[in-house]
Amino acid sequence: MPARSLRRLLLGWLLAPLLILLALGTLGTVYIARGVAHDAYDKELLDPMLALAQHIVIMGGQPTFNLTPAARDLLLVDAYDNIYYQLSAAHARPIGNLYLPVPAGIGDRALFYDASFSGREIRVAALRIALPDNTSAVLQVAETLNKRDSHMIKILLGMLAPALAIALAAVLLVWFGIRRGLAPLENLQTELAARSHRDLRPVPENHAPEEVRPLVVSLNALLRRLNEAQASQQRFLANAAHQLRTPLAGLQTQVELALRGHLPEHLRPTLAHLHASTVRTAHLANQLLTLARAEPGALPPDAMQRLDLCNLVENAAHEWVPRALEKKLDLGFDMTPAWLVGEPLLLRELLANLIDNALRYTPAGGNITVRCGDLNGVFLEVEDNGIGIPAAAIAKVCERFYRVEGSPGDGCGLGLAIVEEIARIHDATLDISAPDTGRGTLIRLRFPQTHVFSST
């Protein structure tokens, strides 16, 4: 069965019975209102009837009315309705302006009934009366239904208007009730939609209404399983990379030893090639391990500590200076204290990857500057005036294993992916651009205020 809107479903279930009840109620009301209107006006119809009865005389053996036109008008004219009458005696022609058959069995109690006359609905009262000559005749008085109809409509409106108002109020209440009831679900939806695929934290369960809670509980269970699956995948990657490192290091040492010893000359290029491949593979294993360690959830809870970036850079600089000298690059530092809460080993990896890139992708004679400080928040920058990253590639360089086509060297494409992960762990924003000079690359990290502690 296709999914249906809860709101429409409930409204449907409410509206259909409501409408049926309303229709039945209207029918009932019409029936009752008609009865009430008849009761009220039937009695009034007796007045002209009794008045007419008193004006019957016998003339030439025939009953007739001795009424002046004025008296007749007074008796028979009504502000709202037409009044008709007819007197039917046994052996005489009926007199009056109402031409209706006389119902059988009329006695001396008035009989009221509905009929139609010259195309209109009328209400008739019939009564047998005694004539002055001791015979009897049936007197019928009828009136059109204008008064009764308007009376009935008033009653109908009086009863239906509140019923309609109640029905409308019920519909509105249900509509808003469902809206309110569903609001927590909508909040849940917004919260989930705003999340990144890495954010597998459980959803708060106590905000959800009771009926929705099982859903949220199951969702959280699923998130937990996903989290575990991701963690186990991460552990697998870290273990695999770790397991690879030892034999690769051994291999590298063996090849280096061989290269240093006596060697048939024709084997030397092959071994040199083998050495380069081994170094490259060992680097890849190291990068994979770093990446696995930098993934969310891989960090032990107490790993973050208060540290000064300035210090961190100074302690690691000796690793890069020889490479810079070798490549005739000017590696400069422009640093002021920059305290933050971070994971020192990961931050060092981040820096190592940025500087490694700058060293790799800046031709001899170029400049590399590392800056850090605290200017409206802690920042870290690595700027070079090397080959630069093509604008079209900037969005992709942080993808795992992505390398700009034709990039020199034998990188594996994980460096900036690692930088991005480590930045994410520190809630830092990573910005890759070209320096103002237009040449080279400027990579800037801004750490959030919440992680910044004053050094005093």
Ligand X SMILES: Nc1ncnc2c1ncn2[C@@H]1O[C@H](COP(=O)(O)OP(=O)(O)O)[C@@H](O)[C@H]1O
Concatenated DSSP letters of 174-220: HHHHHHHHHHHHHHHHHHHHTS-TT--PPPPSTTS-TTTHHHHHHHH
Site for Mg ion in 391-430 (CB under 5 A): 411, 415
Sorted by sequence, the CB contacts under 8 Å of residue 320 that are 6+ apart come out as 331, 352, 355, 359
- Closer of 103 and 365 to ligand X (Cβ): 365
Q: Of the ranges 179-187, 253-261, 355-363, 420-428, which one interacts with Mg ion (CB under 5 A)? A: 355-363
Q: Which residues contact residue 38 at a Cβ distance below 8 angstroms, ignoring those fewer than 6 apart?
A: 112, 123, 148
361 binds, among ligand X, Mg ion, none (CB under 5 to 8 A by kind): ligand X
Least Cβ distance, residue 261 to Mg ion (angstroms)? 33
What are the φ and ψ backbone dihedral angles of 74, each rounded to 5 degrees?
-60, -40
DSSP string, 441-454: EEEEEE--GGG---
Closest-approach residue to Mg ion (CB):
415
- Residue 48: which of Mg ion, ligand X, none does it interact with, CB under 5 to 8 A by kind? none
Distances (CA, A) of 272 to 126, 260, 268, 269, 383: 131, 11, 6, 5, 33
Q: Closer to ligand X at the Cβ: 187 or 433?
A: 433
**Binding of residue 386 to Mg ion (CB under 5 A):** no
Residues sharing a CB contact under 8 Å with residue 31, sequence separation 6 or more, in sequence order: none
Q: Which stretch binds Mg ion (CB under 5 A): 261-269, 311-319, 352-360, 393-401?
A: 352-360
Q: How far is the CB of 304 from ligand X (least distance, A)?
A: 25
Q: Closer CB to ligand X, residue 437 or residue 454? A: 437
Angstrom distance (rounded) from CA 231 to CA 213: 26
Nearest residue (CB) to ligand X, 371 versus 403: 403
CB of 317 to ligand X, least distance (A): 18
- Contacts with Mg ion: how many residues (CB under 5 A)? 3
> In terms of CB distance, is 83 or 417 closer to Mg ion?
417
In whole angstroms, the minimum distance from the beta carbon of 438 to Mg ion comes to 22
Question: Shortest distance, CB of residue 410 to ligand X, whole angstroms?
Answer: 8
From the list ligand X, Mg ion, none, pick the one residue 145 interacts with, judged by a Cβ distance below 5 to 8 Å according to partner type: none
Q: Which does 397 bind (CB under 5 to 8 A by kind): ligand X, Mg ion, none?
A: ligand X
- In the complex, the residues that contact ligand X under the rule CB under 6 A are 353, 357-358, 361, 384, 386-389, 397, 403-404, 407, 411-417, 441
What CA–CA distance (Å, rounded) separates 379 from 385? 20
387 binds, among ligand X, Mg ion, none (CB under 5 to 8 A by kind): ligand X
Closest distance to Mg ion from the beta carbon of 325 (Å) = 20
User: Whose Cβ is closer to Mg ion: residue 297's or residue 408's?
Assistant: 408
Is the Cβ of residue 89 or residue 241 nearer to ligand X in the bound state? 241
Please, which residue, 245 or 283, has the CB nearer to Mg ion? 283
Instruction: For residue 247, report the phi and psi dihedrals to the nearest 5 degrees.
Output: -60, -35
Residue 342 contact partner, candidates ligand X, Mg ion, none, CB within 5 to 8 A by sort of partner: none
SS3 127: strand
Write out the two tokens for 410.
Answer: 């034998």
The answer to whether residues 335 and 371 touch, using CB atoms and an 8 Å cutoff, is: yes
**Nearer Cβ to ligand X (88/290):** 290
In whole angstroms, the minimum distance from the beta carbon of 366 to ligand X comes to 10
| CA nearest neighbour of 343 among 403, 424, 287 | 424
Q: Which residues have C-beta within 8 Å of that of residue 338, sequence separation ≥ 6?
A: 308, 309, 310, 372, 373, 374, 378, 379, 380
CB of 298 to Mg ion, least distance (A): 21
Smallest separation, CB 225 to Mg ion (Å): 35
Kindly state the tokens that stand for 238.
């870290």
Q: Which residues contact 96 (CB under 8 A, 6 or more apart)?
A: 84, 85, 86, 87, 140
On the CB side of 453, CA atoms within 13 Å amount to 11
Q: Does residue 357 interact with Mg ion by CB under 5 A?
A: yes
Interacting residues of 449 by C-beta distance below 8 A, sequence separation 6+: 377
Task: Choose the one of Mg ion, ligand X, none that binds residue 388, judging by a C-beta under 5 to 8 angstroms depending on kind.
Answer: ligand X
Q: Which positions touch Mg ion (CB under 5 A)? A: 357, 411, 415
